[in-house]
């Protein structure tokens, strides 16, 4: 029962004390978030994993790529545990490392290889969204590239354009397009790489004129949001503030009043002094939690059909109880480790992000 699980989790956490640190992403359900020592967006959780070096285990209530990142940034003796190994991210899975390697080879044929031009710029700098495998982060690190999250994508693109003529952006086409557009880059300079076709299917001239080559990935949760939902919210709630996550399609971001990471959304609501109506375009668990925490405001999700991230939802309190109790019994289960060959360049790409200055 829920009460029994609650008792078991609290008992195991109390017995473990500082030995275990439980991290929770905003999209986790409340039944899991209530046990988190630290809650945040993917950037904040990565920095939390880096900072809290005293815990021998980091229990990551989030998805697989976040746990991999925590493993990369935490100490070598620390174990990062993902309570349910089936908690992946469909977007991260859309950038398969073999496809990426193949695309890179073909791009190098177009750009004449990896060397600086007379201005000291590389032909293209690979940038990957945090929502990607460690293997892809490693690839990016090996090719002079960098990681970004939804809270620092603009800063990271500036970093990349200081070093290269173009950017190859993985895996989220929407975050890439929305960020580049806000920097003044035209849509005609953002072709999308099509992995299903040989190079001939991609327009070589278009690739030469590109500023940002987009990968074809997307988030199945955020692609559901539409401008029709925004029109409806504005018609029904005059004065509504519409805030969406930048993983939403470009027309949705354009039609919204603001866009930003999960933490930007949280701060926008916490900073509102007058009672306000907010229509939010992001995962439902965060929207419902914000609504419950701010009864002075009216807060609802743009999508009337409940849209949880199904993989985030795979972290059930039952798994949390199991991994904590195993730890207490001296057994580390569901440990996430990134192999050394990948870890070194992946860490480099992450460290570049952490030290990139706006």
**Smallest distance from ligand SF4 to CB 262, Å:** 9
Q: Residue 63: in which H helix or E strand, if any?
A: none
Q: Name the nearest CA neighbour of 169 among 232, 110, 211, 213.
A: 213
Beta bridge partner(s), residue 61:
24
Q: Rule CB under 6 A: which residues touch ligand 13P?
A: 41-43, 131, 149-150, 219, 247, 261-262
Angle CA 76–263–50, to nearest 5: 10
Q: Is 245 annotated as a binding residue?
A: yes
**Smallest distance from ligand SF4 to CB 33, Å:** 15
Verify binding: residue 20, ligand SF4, rule CB under 6 A. Answer: no
Quick one: 38 or 313, whose CB is closer to ligand SF4?
313
Q: How far apart are the first and last CA of the chain?
A: 48
Verify binding: residue 45, ligand SF4, rule CB under 6 A. Answer: no
Query: Which of 118-126, 132-140, 217-225, 227-235 is the region at the interface with ligand SF4 (rule: CB under 6 A)?
Result: 217-225
The only residue of 5, 90, 224, 300 in contact with ligand SF4, by rule CB under 6 A: 90
Other CB atoms within 10 A of residue 222 CB: 25
Contact mark string toward ligand SF4, 47..76, x via CB under 6 A = ----------------x-------------
Cα 287 to the center of its chain, rounded Å? 17
Q: Name the nearest CA neighbour of 180 among 204, 211, 225.
A: 211
What per-residue string of b and e applies to 286-301 under the rule 16 or more CB within 10 Å gives b?
bbbbbbeebeebebbb
Beta bridge partner(s), residue 40:
25
| Partner touching 90 among ligand SF4, ligand 13P, none, CB below 5 to 8 Å by kind | ligand SF4
Q: Is 307 annotated as a binding residue?
A: no
Q: By CB under 6 A, how many residues form the interface with ligand SF4?
A: 13
Q: Name the nearest CA neighbour of 260 among 249, 271, 276, 244.
A: 244
Q: Starting from the edge strand earliest in sequence, which strands make up the sheet with 277-281, in order?
A: 258-259, 241-244, 277-281, 298-301
Contact predicate 83/45, CB 8 Å: no
The only residue of 28, 131, 132, 202 in contact with ligand SF4, by rule CB under 6 A: 131
| Partner touching 133 among ligand SF4, ligand 13P, none, CB below 5 to 8 Å by kind | none
Verify binding: residue 89, ligand SF4, rule CB under 6 A. Answer: yes
Contact predicate 82/336, CB 8 Å: yes
**Smallest distance from ligand 13P to CB 80, Å:** 17
Q: Is 262 annotated as a binding residue?
A: yes
243 burial level (CB within 10 Å; 0-12, 13-18, 19+): buried
Q: Is 297 annotated as a binding residue?
A: no
Verify binding: residue 219, ligand SF4, rule CB under 6 A. Answer: yes
**Smallest distance from ligand 13P to CB 67, Å:** 13
| Partner touching 326 among ligand SF4, ligand 13P, none, CB below 5 to 8 Å by kind | none
Beta bridge partner(s), residue 259:
244
Query: What SS3 state is found at 347?
Result: helix
| Partner touching 41 among ligand SF4, ligand 13P, none, CB below 5 to 8 Å by kind | ligand 13P
Q: Binding site residues for [4Fe-4S] cluster, as ranges? A: 89, 219, 309
Q: Binding site residues for iminosuccinate, as ranges? A: 25, 42, 129-131, 150, 245-247, 262
What is the binding site for ligand SF4 (CB under 6 A)?
A: 27, 63, 89-91, 131, 219-221, 283, 309, 311-312
């Amino acid at each position: 029962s829920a009460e029994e699980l609650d008792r078991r989790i609290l008992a195991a956490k109390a017995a473990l004390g500082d030995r275990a640190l439980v991290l929770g992403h905003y999209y986790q359900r409340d039944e899991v978030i209530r046990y988190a020592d630290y809650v945040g967006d993917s950037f904040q959780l990565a920095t939390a994993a880096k900072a809290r070096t005293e815990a021998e285990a980091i229990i990551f209530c989030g998805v697989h790529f976040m746990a991999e990142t925590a493993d990369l940034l935490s100490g070598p003796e620390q174990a990062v545990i993902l309570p349910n190994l089936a908690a992946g991210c469909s977007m991260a899975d859309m950038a398969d490392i073999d496809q990426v390697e193949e695309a890179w080879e073909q791009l190098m044929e177009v750009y004449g290889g990896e060397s600086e031009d007379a201005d000291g710029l590389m032909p293209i700098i690979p940038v990957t969204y945090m929502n990607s495998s460690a293997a892809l982060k490693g690839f990016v690190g090996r090719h002079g590239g960098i990681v970004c999250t939804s809270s620092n994508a603009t800063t990271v693109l500036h970093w990349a354009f200081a070093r290269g003529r173009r950017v190859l952006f993985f895996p989220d086409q929407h975050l890439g397009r929305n960020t580049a557009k806000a920097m003044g880059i035209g849509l005609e300079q953002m072709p999308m790489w099509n992995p299903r076709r040989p190079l001939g299917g991609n327009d070589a001239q278009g690739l030469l004129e590109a500023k940002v080559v987009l990968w074809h990935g997307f988030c199945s949760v955020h692609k559901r949001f539409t401008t029709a939902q925004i029109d409806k919210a504005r018609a029904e709630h005059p004065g509504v503030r519409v805030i969406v996550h930048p993983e939403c399609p470009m027309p949705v971001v354009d039609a919204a009043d603001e866009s930003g990471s999960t933490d930007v959304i949280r701060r926008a609501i916490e900073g509102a002094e007058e009672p306000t109506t907010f229509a939010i375009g992001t995962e439902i668990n965060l929207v419902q939690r914000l609504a419950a925490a701010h009864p002075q405001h009216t807060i609802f999700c743009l999508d009337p059909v409940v849209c949880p991230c199904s993989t985030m939802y795979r972290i059930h309190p039952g798994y949390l109880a199991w991994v904590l109790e195993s730890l207490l019994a001296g057994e580390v289960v569901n440990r996430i480790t990134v192999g050394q060959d990948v870890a070194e360049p992946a860490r480099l790409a992450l460290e570049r992000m952490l030290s990139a200055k706006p």
